Structure 1
Amino acid sequence: MTLHGLAFPDELLYAPDYNLWLRADDDGLTLGLTAYGCASYGQIFAFTPKRDGWHIDKDRSFGVVEFAKAASSARCPLAGTLLASNPAVVERPALINQDCYGAGWMVRLQPDDWPAARSELLSGAAALAAFAERMRLDGFDPHDAGVQALRQE
């Protein structure tokens, strides 16, 4: 799936209010920043995650993302225990911008209540509609040069 040329892979789940994607694996969840999140932040210069083993409450930070003009807490859409952060991203944060759905994943999490959390996540057309609305509310300009670098069309 694409929206304004930004990719949103069909097989992933999304938390549009957090600009995050999630993938359920056999041993937990993998989380990362969406292409829209990358377009919104611009070039990412640092990612500082919480420590492995740290319990994260819903809506609380699992790390800090630093970009050109500011820093922002990466808030979690569900409660759980941080299993691991991506050491490659900590060392080379540009991986988030270069491959946000692959090598640029951010953290792995063991959710406290996956069935309840899963019911709040979106996929497919519902995810695209939520991101379209978010882009509208944010005044997102898909023709901006920074966005063009992320286009998948």
Structure 2
Amino acid sequence: MSEVLNLHGLPFPTELLYAPAHNLWLREEPDGSITLGLCAYGCALYGEIFAFTAKRAGLHIDAGRSFGVVEFAKAASSARCPLAGELVESNPRLQEQPALINRDCYGEGWLVRIRPDDWPAARAGLVGGEAALAAFAEQMRLDNFDPEAAGVQALRWK
């Protein structure tokens, strides 16, 4: 198991890359695809997630454009992609069990897999390790995030 850094009780595994402005984690897969998921901070912001609806496999997603919709208490939000590429797969388990996103955001609760157009260029815009923690601390400041607010649940890393 990799090292896990914590910020306000929210875990950030160091083996992953992050797109703080999108509240996403990214992991390169052996086949060259990139798995994306909602990070612990995104889960804390949204609270209980009731549904995730991905766009269909085969679509080309431009950087900054939506790859799906996350539905949570009385609202919904577009999940925006930090890189351009083809959506190759969405997590089929989320149709029946969207709570996996909250329960295991870095594991079984992943959202989609993308085959990137230019991974080296996209990777350059992502952060990891201590740099990710600093970037999320700044994002939290910009979002006026209060980790002590009612309804914010720190996720416990296994």
Range into which the TM-score falls when normalised by the shorter chain: over 0.9
Task: Tell me how far apart the structure 1 counterparts of residues 28 and 144 of structure 2 sit (CA, whole Å).
Answer: 31
Matches within 5 A, 1:17-56: 17-27=21-31, 28-56=33-61
Matches within 5 A, 1:76-115: 76-115=81-120
Residues 49-76 of structure 1: per-residue CA shift (max 9 Å, x gap):
0001111000000000000021110000
TM-score by length of 1: 0.96
Query: Which residue of structure 1 aligns with residue 10 of structure 2?
Result: 6
Which of these residues, 55, 62, 65, is aligned with residue 57 of structure 1? 62
Which of these residues, 124, 128, 134, is aligned with residue 123 of structure 1? 128
Task: Tell me how far apart the structure 2 counterparts of residues 47 and 90 of structure 1 sit (CA, whole Å).
Answer: 7
SS in 1 for 2:100: helix
Task: Tell me how far apart the structure 1 counterparts of residues 142 and 73 of structure 2 sit (CA, whole Å).
Answer: 22
5+ long unaligned stretches in structure 1: none
5+ long unaligned stretches in structure 2: none
SS in 2 for 1:81: strand
Task: Give the deviation of 1:144 after TM superposition.
Answer: 2.7
Percent of aligned positions that are identical:
73
Q: Does 1:146 align with 2:151?
A: yes
SS in 1 for 2:21: helix
Aligned length: 153
Task: Give the deviation of 1:149 after TM superposition.
Answer: 4.8
SS in 2 for 1:147: coil
Most deviating of 49-58 and 141-150? 141-150
Task: Give the deviation of 1:137 after TM superposition.
Answer: 1.4
Query: Which residue of structure 1 aligns with residue 75 of structure 2?
Result: 70
Task: Tell me how far apart the structure 2 counterparts of residues 83 and 133 of structure 1 sit (CA, whole Å).
Answer: 32
Cα-Cα RMSD: 1.3
